[in-house]
Every structure is written in C-alpha cells, then in structure tokens.
Amino acid sequence: MRNTQTINSNYFIKKYRMEKLTDYFGQNIKDKKIVITGGTTGIGKAIADVLVSLGGRVLIFGRDEKDFKNAVADIQKQFPGSEVYGTPADVTKKEDIQKILEIADNELGGIDILINNAALGAPGITNESYDDYKYIIDTNITGYLAFAQEAASRMKQQKSGHIINIGSMSAESKEAKSTIYVATKSAIRGFSTSLRKELNPLGIKVSLIEPGAVTSDMQPGTNAEQEEKIEKMEMLEAYDIAMSTLFCLSQPKRCDIVTMQIRPHLQLI
C-alpha cells in the first residue's frame, strides 16, 4: 500500500522547491514594495518587523515624530542593511498622503503590498463631539479608502498586488459604548468585500483581517495589566496579527484569504 502521507509531503516540497518553511513564507515578501499605514507602533510596527525580516522593502508612517524615529531605529538595529523608509504623516491630511505616495514612488518604485492599518479607538457617540468623531472617521475610513485607491491605481498597471485591511471583530461583537469605533470597523468590513470584487478581476488581491483584543495603547489598562491578560489568554500580542498577515501574503496566486478573524482564546465574542 502506498504511503499517502509521504507522497503528499514529497509533492509539497517539490512543488514549492523549498526545504524550510521560511523559504515558503518569504517568497512573496522578498524585495516587495510594501506600504504600512500606522506602521510605527502596535500591530503596524509588528507587521513591519516581520516583513522586513523576510527581505521586504518597507515604508512606514504614523502621526507622531518620536514614534516614527524610534520605529525606524529599532528596525535598522534588528535588521542591519534593511530597507525602511517613511516620514511622520497623518492619513487625514491630503498633503501628507501625497507626501507618502511620493516616497513610495521615488524610493520604493511603486506599491506591491498595502497594509491599511492606521486607526484610532473611540468611545460611544454620546461621549464625543462632532469634530472628535469626524476626525476618527476620517482616520479609520477615509484614510483606508484614500490609500486603497492610490495603491490600486499602481497595482492595476502591473496587474498584481495585495491590499490587506486591518479591521476589528468589533464589527461583529458591536459592543455598547463603542458606537463610533464599531461604525468605522463595520464600514471597513463592507468596503473590503466590495473592494475585493472590484479589484480581483484586475489581478489584485484584497484581504480583511479582524483581530479581537490586542495589546496596544488603544486598550484600557497598564502594560502590566495587558501582559496579565495575555497570560490569561484574554488578549493577543501584536505579533499574533503580524504572523496572520504574513500567512495571508504567503499564499499562491490562485489562493485568496478573504477574511481572517483572530481572537484571544478566552475572549468570548
């Protein structure tokens, strides 16, 4: 009787011409031109670390100049000789968006991968002023649309590319006293589905990743309290989402990860 497991294993190794899984995960990352919005802290920074480690050429930005400088310095220290570009920028400002696109075109030579990640947390609508929640909407929704549009226009010319929108399981759980955030992440869920249908025929992939609770400055509690929640499996680390992002990006051209939801084991949603 044939050993089916051995046959399948040999096929897998021969098909992908690799001896290590790192080769498989890195084949769609090495030398790729990658833009990560909100890439200086939290999930965005973790994604930048993972993709740079596999040879990606990465452009990151965030609103805070100190966070930007610290992120670039840390990446260069961890991965000497890596290519990391960017500048402090705000996704709600048209001139800042243009500044980032100029860096993408001039330094990277275009965009192969866009990680739409820049977002702000928000409470219930009764606790915010019009100006406050409009800024949050401009960040969490308009920023995603603007960068998706610009990335798609570049990807369309090369008939390839991958856009990953980082959403939230808040779009599903719809917690009380989180109405503004829920509204924005529900919008990203709908936008991602429609965008995928629009761009797939052009050779462009679109994926939505929806995390549950992830340690970040958007979460309540001190760092120690968040670490305790991680130990109790009630909260995720940013690198959990980064590795999920890598999995999405590492699929063969025929295979799309449409939606991925990742929650802490004991966060009941």
Active centre residues (catalytic): 181
Q: Which residues, 6 or more positions from 220, have their beta carbon under 8 angstroms from its beta carbon? A: none
Q: Tokens 């840390």 map to which residue?
A: 74
116: which strand partners? Answer: 165
Going by the DSSP 8-state scheme, the letter that residue 126 receives in this structure is G
Residue (of 200, 234, 168, 216) closest to 46 by Cα position: 216
DSSP state of 17: T
Whose structure tokens read 């805070």?
Answer: 64
- Assess contact for 229 and 197: CB atoms under 8 A: no
Tokens of 18: 């690799």
Cβ proximity of 195 and 201 under 8 Å: no
| Residue 126 Cα distances to 37, 205, 259, angstroms | 29, 38, 31
- Both tokens assigned to 123: 């409470």
Backbone torsions φ then ψ of 34, nearest 5 degrees: -125, 130
Which letter, b or e, does each residue of 136-175 get, where b requires 16 or more Cβ atoms within 10 Å of its Cβ?
bbbbbbbbbebbbebbbebbeeeeebbbbbbbbbbbbeee
Other beta carbons within 10 angstroms of residue 38's beta carbon come to: 25
